[in-house]
Each structure stands twice: as C-alpha cells, then as structure tokens.
Amino acid sequence: MHKLALNVSTGFALALAAACSTGTVEQPPRQAPTITRIYAVDPPANSPFFSFNTGVTFGEVLIYSSNASDNISATPPPSFTQFRVEFDQPVDATKLLKSKQADTLDAASLPSPLVFSYCAPVDLANPGVEVVDIDTPTHKVVSSTCYDPATQIGLAPHVSIIPGAGSVSANATPSPFTCNSFAEEDSQNYFSKHKYGLKFNPAAIASSGDATKTLSLPSTWTGNTFPFTTAGFEIMAVGTQNSVTGYFDWVSKPYAGFEHDLPAISPGAEVDCDPAATISRTGCRIFSDGSPFLIVTTQPVADATGVTLTRSGGASAPADYTVDTSFDSALAVGRIITITPAVTFEPGQTYTVTVDPTMVTAAPANGETNVTTLEKPTGTTQYSFTAGPGPLGPAAGSNVIFSSTPASGAVKVAHTLSRIRFLFQLPVEPASVSTATFSVTRSDGKTIAGTAAVDTAHNNQRVTWTPTTTPTLFGAVYTVNVSGVKVGPNVPGAGLTFSPFSMTFTTQQFTTNGIFSGTTKVDGKRNMPLESLLNGDWNIQFLDKADPTTVSTSTVQLASAGAAPAFTITDSGDHQKYNLKLTDATTPIKFGTQYLVTSTTGIKEATAANGGASESTGQALHAEGCSAADCPDPRGFFTKAFSASLSAPATTPPTAGNVTITFNYPIDPTTFTGNSANKLALVPGTFDITLGFQPTGSGTIAMNCALQAGNTTVKCTPATAPAANTYYRAVLTLSGVKVATPFSSKGVSVPLDQTTGTFNGTLTQTYITDCP
C-alpha cells in the first residue's frame, strides 16, 4: 500500500559539507556520482509548489533504475512533465546551479507571492541536465533545474527538472531563461507517443566531496542522453483508496513503475480491515462507506461509458452506481475513472468491473488525433473485487444501519422536523418497511406518527421516515427505534433481519441567531462598522419569529465599557429581525470597542397569528447549551479598528514600485504630511527561501506620496526608477494619521473618536521587479 501524502521540504541548501576525516583514520576514496533512479512526475494541478518541494508520491512513475529488480515503466504519461533524478551521493550544486539573488525563480504567475531559489543552471547553453525532444530536434524545451541535497524520508539527493515559460509542446524563445529562471506552470503536457530524453552534462555534476569526480553515466544510454517515449492511452492501475488512511490498494497495476514500491495485490489475497484498528499491509478490501473503485489512466478521459459494474456470480447489477472522472481532479486532472455506489458497495459482495476499450475515449491535453480510444488493454478486460466492511467495522456485521440524518446524538437540529433518513449497509426488502418498523417519541411524552418508505433511487439502501404532521418544538429530545427491517435479495445475507437501531437527537433552542450589520453577522467578531450604530443599519435576529410585544429595551440589553448606551429597538416587520439604533448622536464612537447585546428570557416565541411555530408558541428564549432555569443569550462584538493597508507594488515599468495606501475611513488631511512626518521608501535586498528578505544596506529609494480625493487613499511613486529583476521591500511608516470626523453615512452625521482613530504603524510589501 502507499500513502497519498505531501512531504514538504523546508528549503534548499547550495551544497552539503564534504565528509571530514579525523586523526589518522584513512577515508575510502570518493567515487564518481551515479544516477540511481529517474522519476517522471505529474505536478499537482494549480499547486503553488513544485514537485521537488512536495515529494508528491501519487503522481510519479519510475522510468529508470540502476537496480535491475526495481519496477519501472518506460512510457510516462504526457502530463508527467517534471522529472526527479536521484544520485547515490550529494553533488556539488555550485557547479550545477547559480546562486546569486539575480538568478532566483519568481513564481509571479501564482496567486500568492511565492519565490523559489537556486534553480538556474550555471551554463544556460549547456546545463547539467535538460529535457530534449528527440523526435523533433528543432524543438527546444525550457528546463530549469533545482537541487535538493536533503535526504528526507523516501528521497535521495536529487535534482528536479521543471519545464516552464510556456507550454512544453511549444518552441522555447531564443532566451528561454528569462532572468535566468522562470515560473513553473501546471496543466501542460508533452506530445503523446513521442520520444524525448534527459540530456546530462557530466562535467557540471560532480561529487560534493571531490570536484574531480564527475557524473558517470550508464553505457546503455544514447551518449549522455536517457531516452524515453511518452504514453498513448493506457490503464496504469486499478484498485481503491483506503478512505481511513489514504493508502491505495491496487488489484492490478499494468504500470509497474507507477508507485513502484507498491505491488498489486490479487483480490483473493486482500482481507477485511477494521477502520478503527491497524490497517493490514497485505491489502484491504474496499470499505463499504461510499468509497469508489478507481481506474487510473495515462490520458484525461473524455468518455467512460465502456466501464460497467455487475455483481459477480450471475446476480443482477447493483442499482444507481455512477461512472465518472470526478476523483480528486487536483491530483490527476481527469485521468481517474471512478465507479461510485449510490450509497455503499455491499459488504461481502464480489463485483466485476468490465472495461470495453472501444468505448473509453481520451481527451488529450494537446488536442492530438493520434490518441483516441483505450489502447491497453487491447480487448475487453474484467477486474474483480470484494467489498469489505462498512464504517462500523467487521464486528458489527453487514445487516446494520450505519448512518442517519439527523445523526445519532446530534444537537441543534432544526426544530421543524420534516424527515429522518437512514442508510443501511445492505439493500432493504421494501415489503419489510412499514409504520410498525419505526418508532419516534419525544421528551414531552408525545409519540410522533409517521410513515416510512425505501428510496429506490439509492440501491434500496436509504429509507426515509416522514412525520404525518411536522413537529415544531424547540429544545425537544427525540428517541428513534428501528426494528424488523429485512435484507433485500441478490446480496450476501438476503432475507436476514437488520439489527435493531436506536438513537436520540435534540432540536435547537429558541434563541438569538446573531447580531448583524446589514446582512453581515458581527457577533464574536471585530468588524462592526461604526456608522451602523447610529444610522440604524444593525439588527438582532432570532432563530424564529419572536412575539413583538415581548421584544423591547428591557428584554434586549446593551452594554459597553461598563455603561448602558441608550438605544431603540424596532420590529422590521417580519418579527424575526429587530433593528437597533443608538440615540446619542453627539458622543464620538470609538474604534475597536466592545459591545454586549443580551437577549433575556422575557422574549417569547411569536403567537400563531404572528407566524410562530405551532408547538412552541409562548416558549421563552433559551440560550443553547444552558441547563439553568433562566438562560439569557449574550452576544458580543467589537467596532472596527481604524486601519490602513498597502497594495502589492507594481512590477513593470514605467509604474514599477508604485503602491497605494488605503484607509478604511477618510482621514483628516491635515494629519498626513508625506515624507516630512513619515518614512516612505523602497529598500532593495535579496530573498532566500530559508532566510527571507535581506536588505542590502544601500540603494534605498525615497517615495513621493500624495493624498487622493476622498481622503481614503494615498498614492506613492518612487523618486527614481527601481532596478529590473531586483527584490525590494516597500516600507511605509505612518505616524499620527487621524480619522476625519464627523463621517456621513445614509444621511446621518456620525461623530468618530480620533483618539482610537489614529494610525501609527509600518506597512510593508516585498516583491521582485520584472526582468529587463
């Protein structure tokens, strides 16, 4: 089995220290480095990380090994555009890669400002390793090289070869290494059934302990090149993923190099594993918890109608399963066909998956016409598997209810109980489901009448109980019992009675739903706009309609800083939302100040005439989770802090270095005086993955800043143009900038407190300017 996991490296070092000798102990002579393994790697779609930094094991195919007993596959899928070359020892990265700041790799095309270093070859014309197009020698593939000497778990010292700067199927520009490096790109592919190679420059790859020992290549290669041919449309592996551990259990693996250390295990050798216990390493049957069966292919799949599922032994096909390519598209981008049961596979049932290659078509990423239907296997092929136990484990047996909605023990369930659903581990015999098989009682002693029926669209594994009259009681405990339901035909255990099932759940209390500014919930947060307190744009909402005669300033209480500000409360008209408004329009409102709104138990559920829940009319408000006799519901919030933010600097001339400061409220223009009272500058430096930004100590560029109309933004431009391909940190220190007061909102003049509304602080943004 193999774990789908991300092993994230903490960074890159330029070289490992050479081994030291001590005393008179003679050290063995250093040997020339050799290549032990080469992997083709599929970068995760839309990932901001590179394969060399993640160690993603799911998307790897071993295409070369110096160990003859290793499992390899010589034809990697076209989407496996990156490569990892592992050595038998650390190599000298100073001969392989540049190390100056100007040679860093800027991931500017990614959604976050991630920068990767040490990926530019020393010799751009003859790098240590690069991808070459053997079938089309005039096609140059851009290749950046990254070295990691770390020996983290599962990874030897290695280089990663990463294509970028445009689709790998397009010709590179005359100077492919823009600024000596480039951003990695996903969702690109090599041509299918096309010969490429990894070309090495042995002189650039030397032992870290002895620079005279340079790379030794296998004599079986074509000169200094390891050739390989990309795949057409083939099945790589067939099996399942353990939903508890993330491990994969393959029952067939035509691509031996895919997850090369994980052999396929025949279905007959797999065992029932308990989700709650240690997982067997000999292979687990698929858990009957809704997990899908997987077919991994070398190309994205356009049509999988040639894949069907039947029960083995001549039994009828299971109902309502689906076949699609929806499984974790971030990892395989449509290359995994999933067979998903309507509810679960049936424990103990053996299934047959039939693949008709003439009815499974590809959607090659490059729009190629030489790849259409499935090429391997060449004829109709069948794969068998036996479903294992469900989520409750093998000890519970198969004839059980394993899930319900509401869940057993659930709290805060909606007080309007419209239905209860049950998921059975095996299909249900519809004739065994009746009113008598379900019992629903309530904590007030009432028995809730209802009917039950099998949902036939879910392989007869889902049963829904529906009340004759919808209960609406807040804070009620329901007890549910199910008995006498039988297992349906065509499955193991047919005709047996399901084990009795019992559960309880509790409906929500009638209480406060939240404090809002307009439609934005603010209780428990620090985002209440100050103007909302005076312009009437804030409100309290209850979980259901409250009797308006019981909602007033005596049953809703307001406190702040030890005082009780005067306010009004009015019904919005729907009896569920009540508008609040402070009445003191002269005292300045403070930023970052806490308010507490408490709803008391004097508030009652509305009458039926006002839309209240029929069974809860007149019920007192009760805070959730409170067991006392009197349970008021306090909700706190803070007004917004007075703040400023800095935009990401422009990177392209002529606006390179331009930034904008934005305040969340208009400022008093007399309190912003540009550089005379503030420090506004661009500081040049270098950037390293481990050390971060490091200022160079000279070359600081002053910024000219001007307040814009409206008094909420300040635009800043550098006094002199920043250098190209250089790291800068915009550093803007502001002092004594005050909010303007009063502030007008919805026709209301809102006095703002300038003591809490003063900004003192430093704003920074680190960036790299564009290449020349």
pLDDT tens by residue, 6-21: 233 323 222 222 222 2
Specify the amino acid at residue 601. T
How confident is the model at residue 248, as a pLDDT?
A: 86
Name which of 208, 339, 237 is nearest 298 in CA terms.
237
Mean pLDDT value across residues 589-597: 98
**From 71-85, 175-189, 683-697, the region with the lowest mean pLDDT:** 175-189
Specify the amino acid at residue 438. F
Is pLDDT above 70 for 68? yes
Q: How far apart are CA 254 and CA 264, in angstroms?
A: 9
**From 256-270, 439-453, 497-511, 525-539, the region with the lowest mean pLDDT:** 256-270
Name which of 472, 540, 465, 539 is nearest 508 in CA terms.
472
Is pLDDT above 60 for 49? no
To the nearest whole number, what is the mean pLDDT of the chain?
Answer: 86
Mean pLDDT value across residues 397-415: 96
SS3 89: coil
The tokens for 654 are: 């002529």
The tokens for 686 are: 């270098």
Q: How far apart are CA 474 and CA 480, in angstroms?
A: 17
Is pLDDT above 80 for 27? no
Specify the amino acid at residue 196. Y
365: which DSSP letter? Answer: T
What are the tens digits of pLDDT across the range 653-698?
899 999 999 999 999 999 998 777 678 899 998 766 556 788 988 8
Whole-number Cα distances in Å, 449 to 444, 446, 469, 616? 15, 9, 8, 19
- 218 vs 4, more confident: 218
Is pLDDT above 70 for 364? yes
Angle, CA 423 vertex, CA 441 and CA 429 arms, to 5°: 95
DSSP structure string for 11-76: ---S-PPPPP--TTPPPPPPPPPBEEEEEEE-PPTT-SS-HHHH--STTEEEEEESSTTS---SS-
Contacts of 499 (CB under 8 A, 6+ apart): 396, 397, 399, 400, 401
Contacts of 615 (CB under 8 A, 6+ apart): 471, 472, 473
What are the tens digits of pLDDT across the range 714-759?
999 999 999 987 889 999 999 999 999 999 999 999 999 999 999 9
**Residue 437 near residue 476, CB atoms below 8 Å:** no
What are the tens digits of pLDDT across the range 213-237?
999 999 999 999 999 999 999 999 9
Highest mean predicted confidence (pLDDT) among 115-124, 247-256, 605-614: 605-614
**Residue 589 near residue 754, CB atoms below 8 Å:** no
Q: What percent of the chain has pLDDT over 90?
A: 66
Residue position matching structure tokens 């026709």: 747
Is pLDDT above 50 for 114? no
- 5 vs 681, more confident: 681
Q: Name the band, by pLDDT with cuts 50, 70 and 90, for residue 172.
A: low
**From 82-96, 461-475, 631-645, 754-768, the region with the lowest mean pLDDT:** 82-96
Q: How far apart are CA 616 and CA 518, in angstroms?
A: 28
Q: Name the band, by pLDDT with cuts 50, 70 and 90, for residue 167.
A: low
How confident is the model at residue 678, as a pLDDT?
A: 74
Q: How far apart are CA 521 and CA 527, in angstroms?
A: 9
Q: What percent of the chain has pLDDT over 70?
A: 85
Is pLDDT above 80 for 166? no
How confident is the model at residue 471, as a pLDDT?
A: 97
Q: How far apart are CA 581 and CA 33, in angstroms?
A: 76
Name which of 124, 540, 44 is nearest 333 in CA terms.
44
Is pLDDT above 70 for 2? no
- 637 vs 94, more confident: 637
Is pLDDT above 80 for 399? yes
What are the tens digits of pLDDT across the range 280-298?
667 889 999 999 999 999 9
How confident is the model at residue 6, as a pLDDT?
A: 29
Angle, CA 691 vertex, CA 652 and CA 180 arms, to 5°: 45
What are the tens digits of pLDDT across the range 423-472?
999 999 999 999 999 999 999 999 999 999 999 889 999 999 999 999 99
Specify the amino acid at residue 170. A
- 592 vs 209, more confident: 592
396: which DSSP letter? Answer: G
**From 16-20, 95-99, 338-342, 637-641, the region with the lowest mean pLDDT:** 16-20
Torsion angles phi and psi, residue 394, rounded to 5:
-65, -30
Q: How far apart are CA 636 and CA 381, in angstroms?
A: 64
Residue position matching structure tokens 């909602």: 551
**Residue 196 near residue 227, CB atoms below 8 Å:** yes
318: which DSSP letter? Answer: P
Is pLDDT above 70 for 130? yes
Q: How far apart are CA 330 and CA 186, in angstroms?
A: 11
Q: How far apart are CA 116 and CA 388, in angstroms?
A: 45
Is pLDDT above 50 for 100? no
Q: Name the band, by pLDDT with cuts 50, 70 and 90, for residue 571.
A: very high
Q: How far apart are CA 543 and CA 474, in angstroms?
A: 10
**From 246-260, 287-301, 391-405, 673-687, the region with the lowest mean pLDDT:** 673-687
Name which of 128, 130, 126 is nearest 94 in CA terms.
128
Burial class (CB in 10 A: 0-12, 13-18, 19+), 119: buried
Measure CA of the first residue to CA of the last residue in the chain; give whole Å: 50
How confident is the model at residue 531, as a pLDDT?
A: 97
Specify the amino acid at residue 658. N
Kind and range of the H or E run holding 94 = helix 93-96
Torsion angles phi and psi, residue 63, rounded to 5:
-110, -10
